[in-house]
Amino acid sequence: MKAISLTQPWATLVAIGMKCVETRSWRSWYFGEIAIHAAKSYPRWAQNFCDEKVVPYFTNQTLPKFPTGCIVAKARLIACVGTNNCGMAAKALNFVPDHPWKQEWMFGDFSAGRWAWLLCDVVPIDPPIPARGALGIWEWAQE
């Protein structure tokens, strides 16, 4: 199965349905089922982002765990569009019509020249499955 590594907290945000658009500096030509891998590293800047932007969304709820070095979800990658066309493309695909897009703008980098990967049919994996990640889209050998 194809897989993509995301730094935390973004991997968990996808797994719990708070993020359906992954923004990247490069385009994907692959579409279909994809495993969401939480990268092994959880750098200080990402932890700071989590504390400032993500934690406030969970004030009345249990804060999710942010595991690293594991597969946290499976999803279906249905489209990859330039961030400048993201809104139109999502609407044309009838992609998650009731999704709170404010979160996507907060949790992604929609600056010019980037790509929005539209994910749907997300299924969290609990407990997460330990796995070694890689750059780009890589092959995950499910055990």
- The tokens of 64 are what? 């999710």
Any idea which of 1-10, 12-21, 38-47, 56-65 has the lowest mean pLDDT? 56-65
Taking only the tens place, the pLDDT of each residue in 88-102 is 666 656 665 566 667
pLDDT above 90 for 71:
yes
Question: In terms of Cα–Cα distance, which of 31, 3, 27, 30 is closest to 113?
Answer: 27
Q: Is the pTM of this model over 0.95?
A: no
> Coil, strand, or helix at residue 22?
strand
Confidence class of residue 104 from pLDDT cuts 50, 70 and 90? confident
What is the arithmetic mean of pLDDT over 58-78? 88
* Cα separation values, 69 from 9, 66, 133, Å: 13, 10, 7
**Structurally, what CATH architecture does the domain formed by 2-139 represent?**
Roll (2.30)
Question: Which of 59, 68, 61, 82 minimizes the C-alpha distance to 36?
Answer: 68
